[in-house]
């Protein structure tokens, strides 16, 4: 177990290193950071001066390890556009994105697990067919278009919900749905398949032979085992949602990390872009590690192995 954990950790570190390397090289290959920093009106001499002052004239590997070293202690440099430390910017924006991701995940799970359970209880019934059809339709719906349609319907025609900003929890309803619904089909199918398999298992028959009440059989004995794979998928999906929040935050003008990313990308604010890509990769890796831990907690068989 210890060897396995260490291997996992080592792999995680390697992945972070690689991602940071790719990000760094790509961004540096595309844009001369000195030019970007100097602005459009700068002369060649100015750019040269900046290049020397910021150390952009050093070899790329040196610059990379320099950058990585400061990144490790939370120093991501300064935003070119806003002239503020990137770390501060991220810390300001992170709560919004995290709450959006959490709401989206909660929405997806609260919708898909009950649907999956109901579908599994009566496979091929009307409910099952409707749920499966919905999941097929949902999977084909472009996220941003769905968001726009919701804005038109709930924001403009019905005027139930605010369409931009992040002041109240109401502002998070539509973005969370738009970000979360895309994950529901996968959750639902996994819950359904898991439940169908578990409900046919011997230990469910044992539970029924003990005279346990149907809710106990269903929730204590069946669901607990059926949702184990859903949990690991949920952790991974949460990582994807943080990455996917770019589109949703842009549409709803939610001032989170995604919106910041889009602003920075469209204005070539390299330090910010680098930091965000690295941050979200890091989140993803931590989340997958977390998923493994959660799995071990839920499934005692893994715990010992």
- Give residues 133-152 in contact with other proteins (rule: CB under 8 A): 136-137, 139-145, 148-149, 151-152
84: left (phi over 0), alpha (psi -120 to 50) or beta: beta
The single residue listed with the structure tokens 């070293």 is: 69
Mask for 110-129, x = binds other proteins (CB under 8 A)? -------------x------
Distance of CA 25 to CAs 173, 200, 272, 294, Å?
38, 53, 15, 35
Question: Is 300 a residue that touches other proteins (CB under 8 A)?
Answer: yes
Least separation in angstroms between CB 214 and other proteins: 8
Comparing CA positions, the residue from 208, 281, 201 lying closest to residue 16 is 281
DSSP 8-state assignment for residue 181: G
Kindly tell me which residue out of 109, 230, 246, 254 binds other proteins, with binding defined by CB under 8 A: 246
Least separation in angstroms between CB 207 and other proteins: 7
Residue 108: count of CB within 10 angstroms of its CB: 26
Question: Is 77 a residue that touches other proteins (CB under 8 A)?
Answer: no
Tell me the C-alpha distance between 152 and 97, whole Å.
23
Taking CB under 8 A as the binding criterion, the range among 64-72, 76-84, 166-174, 198-206 that sits at the site for other proteins is 198-206
Taking CB under 8 A as the binding criterion, the range among 46-54, 93-101, 170-178, 193-201 that sits at the site for other proteins is 193-201
Tell me the C-alpha distance between 174 and 143, whole Å.
12
Please, which of residues 149-168 interact with other proteins by CB under 8 A?
149, 151-152, 156
Kindly tell me which residue out of 206, 219, 253, 293 binds other proteins, with binding defined by CB under 8 A: 206
**Is 275 within 8 Å of 76 (Cβ atoms)?**
yes
Residue closer to other proteins (CB basis): 144 or 160:
144
Taking CB under 8 A as the binding criterion, the range among 62-70, 81-89, 166-174, 259-267 that sits at the site for other proteins is 259-267
Residue closer to other proteins (CB basis): 14 or 91:
14
Per-residue three-class SS string for 49-113? HHHHHHCCCCCHHHHHHHHHHHHHCCCCCECCCCCCEHHHHHHHHHHHHHHHHHHHHHHHHHHHH
Tell me the C-alpha distance between 285 and 265, whole Å.
23
Q: How far is CA 167 from the centre of its chain?
A: 22
Question: Is 209 a residue that touches other proteins (CB under 8 A)?
Answer: yes
Question: Is 277 a residue that touches other proteins (CB under 8 A)?
Answer: yes
DSSP 8-state assignment for residue 244: H
Residue closer to other proteins (CB basis): 111 or 257:
257
Residue closer to other proteins (CB basis): 108 or 132:
132
**Phi, psi of 265, rounded to the nearest 5 degrees:** -65, -45
Tell me the C-alpha distance between 63 and 58, whole Å.
6
Residue closer to other proteins (CB basis): 173 or 282:
282
Question: Is 213 a residue that touches other proteins (CB under 8 A)?
Answer: yes
Kindly tell me which residue out of 47, 273, 275, 291 binds other proteins, with binding defined by CB under 8 A: 273
Kindly tell me which residue out of 27, 63, 88, 295 binds other proteins, with binding defined by CB under 8 A: 27
């Amino acid at each position: 177990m210890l060897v396995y954990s260490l291997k996992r950790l080592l792999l995680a570190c390697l992945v972070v290193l690689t991602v940071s390397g790719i990000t760094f090289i790509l961004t540096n290959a595309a844009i001369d950071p000195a030019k970007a920093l100097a602005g459009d009106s700068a002369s060649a001499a100015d750019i040269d001066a900046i290049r020397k002052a910021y150390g952009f004239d050093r070899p790329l590997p040196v610059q990379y390890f320099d950058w990585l070293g400061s990144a490790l202690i939370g120093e991501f440099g300064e935003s070119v556009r806003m002239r503020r430390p990137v770390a501060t910017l991220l810390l300001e924006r992170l709560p919004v994105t995290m709450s959006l991701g959490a709401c989206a995940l909660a929405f997806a799970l609260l919708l898909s697990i009950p649907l999956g359970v109901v579908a599994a209880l009566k496979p091929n019934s009307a409910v099952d067919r409707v749920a499966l059809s919905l999941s097929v339709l949902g999977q084909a719906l472009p996220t941003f278009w769905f968001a726009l349609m919701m804005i038109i319907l709930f924001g403009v025609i019905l005027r139930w919900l605010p369409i931009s900003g992040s002041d109240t929890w109401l502002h998070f309803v539509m973005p969370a749905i738009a970000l979360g619904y895309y994950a529901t089909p996968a959750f639902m199918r996994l819950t359904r398949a898991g439940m169908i398999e578990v409900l046919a298992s011997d230990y469910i028959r044992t539970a029924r032979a003990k005279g346990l009440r149907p809710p106990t059989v269903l929730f204590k004995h069946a669901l607990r085992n059926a949702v184990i794979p859903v949990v690991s998928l949920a952790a991974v999906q949460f990582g994807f949602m943080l990455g996917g929040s770019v589109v949703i935050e842009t549409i709803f003008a939610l001032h989170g990390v995604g919106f910041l990313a889009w602003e920075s990308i469209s204005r070539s604010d390299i330090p910010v872009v680098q930091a965000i890509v690295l941050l979200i990769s890091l989140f993803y890796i931590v989340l997958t590690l977390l998923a493994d831990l959660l799995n071990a907690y839920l499934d005692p068989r893994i715990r010992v192995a």
